[in-house]
Amino acid sequence: MSDHHIKRLVIMRHAKADWPMGVPDHERPLEERGHREAPLAGKWLLKHGVVPDFILCSSALRTRQTCTWVCDELGDKAPTPKLEDGLYSASANRMLTVINHVPDTVTTLMVISHMPGVQDLAMHLASRDSDHDAYMDAATRYPTSALTVMETEKTWAELDGQDARLTHFKVPRH
């Protein structure tokens, strides 16, 4: 793959959320552990040079809070996130439809959303030449704050299935 044609997709599950009584699912906040771990995802992205130039974030409170922590760590390099109602409780196919509409000027896209959609999307897109260990980790567990990094030469509109190489699966923890 020639570097100038490669697009990167970062799929992140929101950080650990709380389950307060009487709070609608969409409005569930992060719990204390989530507030500690979400910034670690941003630190990992910076350290590994995977800085998104566009972020799509589910409109749920826990994903918005996760996104804020990640962007705080990215600092001046953080793009302005776009809240996307269609990513809340979305299937992998629904997420892919949202991604297919991202402008081709975006080279590194980050999507912050929910289970099981994030894991299903990563598995759906992973190509046969994916990193085996990263693929197996993402396939068997996808805990809160987990990040999958994928690379493709296709345009966002062309992404369909088994056409992005899964290169990293990371669960940022203290």
**Closest by CA position to 98, among listed 11, 157, 161:** 157
Strands (E), the chain: 7-13, 54-58, 82-84, 108-113, 147-152, 165-170
Length of the chain in terms of residues written: 174
94 appears as a binding residue in the annotation: no
What Cα–Cα distance (Å) separates residue 123 from each residue in 69, 100, 108, 126?
26, 17, 19, 5
**Which tokens is 107 given?**
């080279």
Q: What are the binding residues for substrate?
A: 62
Q: What are the binding residues?
A: 62
